[in-house]
Amino acid sequence: MESIGVLMTCPPIYPHLVEKLEKRFTLYKLHNAPDKTHFINSHKNSIRAVVGNAGFGADADLIDQLPKLEIVSSYSVGLDKVDLPKCKEKGIRVTNTPDVLTDDVADLAIGLMLAVLRRLCESDRYVRSGKWKKGDYKLTTKFTGKSVGIIGLGRIGMAIATRAEAFSCPISYYGRTEKPDVKYKFYPSVVELAANCHILVVACALTEETRHIVNREVINALGPKGILINIGRGPHVDEPELVSALLEGRLGGAGLDVFEDEPNVPEQLFGLENVVLLPHVGSGTVETRQAMADLVVGNLEAHFLNKPLLTPVV
């Protein structure tokens, strides 16, 4: 298998993944190439697989430049950076890393809820800066019992719901269709969901239909006491609208792990204590990232050994 060329489109910043790939395949690291077009051209006849992540996948342009491409194995559950229709059309297999990251992402969503409502980051800064010795401490907002509305009750949405239930939070959700075996309240529109919950969580996949699913109307429905949690993708939220709502006090707060133009985060948010900002680390634990790398490599091995894929999408 050593002679099989694998193109890594994401930065080679995951040591476990890079090591495993380099042990088994000939790894081409696109991110390090000074002239990417020349790099692809020089290796296009050896590249039979692409490995990307949430930020760098395989678009139509790249796929068209790789005549020997057979499989795209993504180091992510979200596949919004992979042109799935193009892969289908060309008979290119696609795999992702579902399930292994569900717990971490759901844990982080709850962590963000607590961090925003109980002002954990602000309180930490208060202690570190020595302000505790001088001033009084501001009261925060209780989390237990707050109503949680979830956009997208898939694997991750469901794991968030289960955790929030342990905090006695009433759960409701929005999705394309109502789920028959689910006890949570379904709302047929995101605006209705937002108007009826205290904490709105984005947990759906990014598609053309869900881009800017959280817009001005939804933010206004959530209101000045409402909290937005985004562990999905930045483009789910109309970011300039979110920034103005927070600056104008039309929204109570936000916990954000993802942004429209990562790693660029609107600087107007930096001074707001009701906002918690994370650098897209939902799945970022040692355990989960190793499990994701094992899946990426396991899928490639299965494909090249003509065995069934572990987590096929296309």
Residues that bind ligand 8YV (CB under 6 A): 53-55, 75-78, 101, 280, 282-283
Residue type, 227: I
Residue 47 or 101 having the CB closest to ligand 8YV:
101
- 162: its two tokens: 């289960």
Angle at which helix 286-304 crosses helix 15-24, to 10 degrees, equals 20
Known catalytic residue at 262: yes
Output 55 or 188, the one with its CB closest to ligand 8YV.
55
Q: Kindly state the smallest distance separating residue 49's Cβ from ligand 8YV, in Å.
A: 17
Catalytic residue among 48, 163, 198, 280: 280
Distance from C-alpha of 219 to C-alpha of 176, rounded to nearest angstrom? 20
Query: At its nearest, how many Å lie between ligand 8YV and the CB of residue 216?
Result: 26
Q: Tell me whether residue 72 or residue 245 sits nearer to ligand 8YV (CB atom).
A: 72
- Closest to ligand 8YV by CB, 230 vs 283, is 283
Let me know if 155 is a catalytic residue: no
Catalytic residue list contains 233: yes
Determine the angle formed by the axes of helices 155-165 and 102-117, rounding to 10 degrees: 50
Q: How far is the CB of 45 from ligand 8YV (least distance, A)?
A: 28
Distance CA(265)–CA(25), nearest Å, equals 36
Helix or strand run (H / E) with residue 171? strand 171-174
- Long-range (24+ apart) CB contacts under 8 A made by 39-42 are 40/7, 40/65, 40/66, 41/65
Least distance in angstroms from the C-beta of 182 to ligand 8YV: 23
Which residue in 233, 236, 289, 303 is the catalytic one?
233
Q: Which residues are catalytic?
A: 233, 262, 280
